Amino acid sequence: MSEIAAPQGPQQPQQPAGSPEPGQPRTWDIVATTVELILLALAGMVSSFAGLMLVMASDSCGTGTTECSTGVILLGVGLAVVAPWVALLAMGTWAVVRLVRRKLAWWVPLLAVPLWALVFALGVAVTFAGVS
């Protein structure tokens, strides 16, 4: 009489030889995400400086030909200066959370660029709306 052995628990699917275990950290992902976040911080400093230069839009104010709203100009400059830091904080936090959960995160900091550009452009538009 032959015995048939029943499987002992659920069987795990076979992983290809080169792929890491699910949930294992990927060194390249950690390095890429970190480098992207550092580059975003450096570019953020440059962008904030460029945002400060928007104050020059008010140079023609008070000449008699141009009426300006200094509050609106200040709001626009503030948006342009803060834009990269809002984007970096939001996407940087999300990237770190994904890294901690051992999910791919290299693409998350790249999402900061369109968010940053949108808020910066809004700041520029508000600044020039204050100069009429």
pLDDT per position as a tens digit, 12-53: 556 555 555 556 668 999 999 999 999 999 999 999 999 999
The pLDDT of residue 15 is: 54
Place of tokens 């950690």: 30
The pLDDT of residue 23 is: 62
DSSP the chain: ----PPP-SPPPPPPPTTSPPTT---HHHHHHHHHHHHHHHHHHHHHHHHHHGGGGGGGGTTSSS--B-HHHHHHHHHHHHHHHHHHHHHHHHHHHHHHHTT---TTTGGGHHHHHHHHHHHHHHHHHHSB-
Supply the pTM of this predicted model: 0.72
Cα–Cα distances (Å) from 41 to 29, 100, 117, 125, in that order, read 18, 21, 14, 24
83 close to 116: Cβ distance less than 8 angstroms: yes
What is the percent of the chain with per-residue pLDDT over 90, rounded to a whole number? 58
Lookup: tokens for 110? 């790249």
Q: What whole-number distance in Å separates Cα of residue 69 and Cα of residue 48?
A: 22
pLDDT per position as a tens digit, 47-105: 999 999 999 988 888 777 778 888 999 999 999 999 889 999 999 999 999 999 999 99
